[in-house]
């Protein structure tokens, strides 16, 4: 399944520079980073090859590291296979939430990655685990396309899509944001007004502001959730990177492995690197494709204060 999302909203077409500035703007809503005195001395590499014997566990972001939209990077397929053959533990930690967990695993297997159900942790699965533990009652509005199979959420739900009536929004007990596919200004305004009148929970599976889709960036649920924070009095609950629920879910699968022995590999300073450091992991920033493609990486690190342990163009 190929994800299709709008590339503009209110006339906005996101770029890497714009996305970086937006992450900086919302920095106070993200986890705290390492204090300057604890910032690592970054080591630049060509790939993660020199690190193979230094870590037992490798956690990979998906978009921008393993693939760009439906296009898998052949070097990433080879690297994952190499790690598995050497007995390393591999996890994929993805903020993708449109597809169900099983569908997402199937997607990456179809791309050529030999992974099982327990090797991929999706922000949607983290959300679903939270819903099952807390047994939330009431009817939730689910923000996603019909193809996203919301029945796996395990809650009573109503679709929230363009054209929904304001009265229907007001009668809901909370909202679950899975995907920005088909999102527009009309439904954003209607939801903002409803939440301003009556604040209710907003659970966001995908906190990303943008995602790389081939040769463009698309606006993702995190962007719209942060808009809603400014338009109402709500504080969304985020379940994906860089927030702790996503990283805690990965660590739970590692059976007591010390986070310092885990290498988090991602393409975004404000999600992959910041979140990995907040969880106690070592980090590697990938730069050839993804969110920072074409950017001045040293300048981005300096501006953000988010310093990875390693940098390489690809894995």
* Helix (H), strand (E) at residue 102: helix 101-111
pLDDT of residue 10: 66
Q: Look at residue 293 in the predicted model and tell me its pLDDT.
A: 84
Model pLDDT, residue 164? 83
pLDDT at 6: 44
On whether the pTM is more than 0.85, the answer is: yes
DSSP structure class, residue 280: T
> Tell me, what's the pLDDT at 206?
96
Output the pLDDT for position 162. Answer: 83
Measured CA to CA, the distance from residue 27 to residue 138 in angstroms comes to: 32
Rounded alpha-carbon distances, angstroms, from residue 44 to 123, 287, 296: 29, 11, 14
Q: Which pLDDT score is estimated for 49?
A: 96
Query: Which pLDDT score, from 0 to 100, does residue 214 have?
Result: 61
Distances (CA, A) of 68 to 12, 161, 190, 192, 268: 21, 26, 32, 32, 14
Q: Which mean pLDDT values do the consecutive 10-residue runs of the chain (315 residues) have?
A: 46 86 96 92 96 97 90 95 97 94 94 94 95 85 90 92 86 95 89 94 96 78 94 93 97 93 97 97 93 91 97 96
């Amino acid at each position: 399944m190929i994800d299709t999302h709008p590339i503009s909203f209110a006339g906005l077409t996101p770029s890497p520079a714009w996305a970086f500035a937006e992450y900086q703007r919302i920095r106070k809503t993200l986890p705290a980073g390492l204090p300057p005195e604890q910032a690592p001395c970054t080591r630049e590499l060509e790939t993660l090859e020199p690190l193979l014997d230094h870590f037992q566990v490798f956690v990979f972001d998906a978009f921008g590291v393993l693939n760009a939209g439906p296009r898998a990077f052949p070097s990433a397929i080879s690297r994952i296979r190499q790690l598995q053959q050497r007995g390393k533990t591999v996890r994929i930690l993805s903020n993708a939430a449109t597809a169900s967990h099983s569908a997402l695993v199937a997607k990456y297997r179809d791309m050529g990655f030999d992974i099982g159900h327990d090797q991929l942790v999706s922000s949607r699965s983290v959300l679903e685990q939270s819903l099952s533990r807390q047994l939330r009652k009431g009817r939730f509005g689910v923000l996603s396309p019909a193809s996203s199979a919301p029945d796996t959420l395990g809650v009573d739900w109503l679709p929230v899509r363009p054209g929904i009536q304001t009265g229907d929004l007001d009668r809901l007990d909370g909202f679950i944001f899975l995907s920005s596919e088909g999102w527009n200004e009309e439904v954003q305004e209607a939801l903002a007004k409803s939440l301003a009148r009556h604040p209710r929970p907003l659970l966001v599976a995908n906190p990303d502001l943008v995602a790389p889709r081939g040769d463009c960036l698309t606006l993702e649920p995190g962007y719209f959730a942060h808009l809603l924070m400014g338009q109402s009095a709500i504080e969304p609950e985020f379940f994906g990177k860089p927030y702790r629920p996503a990283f805690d879910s990965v660590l739970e699968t590692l059976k007591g492995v010390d986070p310092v022995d885990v290498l988090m590999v991602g393409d975004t300073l404000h999600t992959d690197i910041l979140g990995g450091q907040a969880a106690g992991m070592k980090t590697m920033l990938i730069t050839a494709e993804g969110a920072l493609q074409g950017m001045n990486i040293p300048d981005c690190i300096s501006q953000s204060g988010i310093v990875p342990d390693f940098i390489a163009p690809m894995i």
